[in-house]
Amino acid sequence: MKLAQIRHILDTEGIRLTKSLGQNFLHDQNQLARIAQAADLGDTDSVLEIGPGLGCLTSHLLGGHRTVMAIETDNRLVEFLTRHYASNPQLQIVHADALRYLREHSGSWQDWKCVSNLPYSVASPILVELATHPSPPARIVTTVQTEVAERIRSPHGSGDYGILSLLIQAHFEPGESFKIPPPCFFPPPNVDSTCITLHRRKNPILGPGEFPTFSKIVKRGFSQRRKMMIKLLKADWNIEWISALLDELGLDPKVRAEQVSLDQFVRMTQGLMQAKQNHDERRTI
């Protein structure tokens, strides 16, 4: 959908865009094609799109025998899409708040790909919800604020590394990314955008049942970035267990969370869970 068409539709439908819903529509055909290409869509793929807007990206996702489920919160856009795509049974439009829908969805996303230009205000919680779902999609291709893309793909030691990086990288490997300049959108946003591809890990790095503890350690560890991990973690765990684990992992006892790698967080999770289990077993003997 080109810029002139977007303007025409908004005008004839009498739709005034809502800034708080991140309604910046992507009209640059090259960028739209690049996003669809990054998704590497097969003929029979199931695609989840969050925030289809006027369908700028949706039309690039449909094709072959693919099915697209598009979740949109704005009823004016849902109405337009329903009319516009009435003759296309391969598109299912869901009128819902995507975050709520994902939280309440008990099914599996395992065989799905998510391709979305996410609304900036809810991009991070939506991505965490999807990435940490018990059966997450095979691939996520998403346009987000560049700053958020940096936080997602940052390795340890970087100022951008934190809770978002770890919760997502625990399940997905960040892949290729490219910037999309503001004039490619209508209206142009005030921030830079980046499209990033996330590949679900072929071999999970966390065992079954380990994610809640991993998440708790990560959140506690980054609750005060400048503070030593040991001082923060001792709120939940025995200080001797933490100290022994830091030593075993070759980490300085004064280490801060941003210096601890994903792999070391995973090993801390497993070590603390094991120490707790040993402790509980001794108590019941």
Residues lying near ligand SAM in the complex (CB under 6 A): 21-26, 50-53, 56-57, 71-74, 77, 97-99, 117, 119, 122
Identity of the residue, 196 or 260, whose beta carbon is nearer to ligand SAM in the bound complex = 196
Residue of 218, 223, 267, 220 lying closest to 241 (CA atoms): 267
Identity of the residue, 147 or 236, whose beta carbon is nearer to ligand SAM in the bound complex = 147
Identity of the residue, 32 or 232, whose beta carbon is nearer to ligand SAM in the bound complex = 32
Question: What is the closest distance, in whole angstroms, from the C-beta atom of residue 4 to ligand SAM in the complex?
Answer: 15
Q: How far is CA 150 from CA 47, 141, 155, 156, 260, in A?
A: 25, 15, 10, 12, 18
Q: How far is CA 193 from CA 71, 74, 146, 188, 243, in A?
A: 21, 22, 5, 10, 41
Question: What is the closest distance, in whole angstroms, from the C-beta atom of residue 23 to ligand SAM in the complex?
Answer: 5
Q: Which residue is nearest to ligand SAM (CB)?
A: 51
Question: What is the closest distance, in whole angstroms, from the C-beta atom of residue 179 to ligand SAM in the complex?
Answer: 15
Question: What is the closest distance, in whole angstroms, from the C-beta atom of residue 252 to ligand SAM in the complex?
Answer: 42
Residue 256 DSSP label: B
Q: Which residues of 57-96 are buried (b: 16+ CB within 10 A; e: fewer)?
A: bbbbbbeeebbbbbbbbbeebbebbeebbeeeeebebebb
For the chain, state the CA radius of gyration.
22
Identity of the residue, 36 or 170, whose beta carbon is nearer to ligand SAM in the bound complex = 36
Question: What is the closest distance, in whole angstroms, from the C-beta atom of residue 73 to ligand SAM in the complex?
Answer: 4
Identity of the residue, 191 or 239, whose beta carbon is nearer to ligand SAM in the bound complex = 191
Residue 257 DSSP label: G
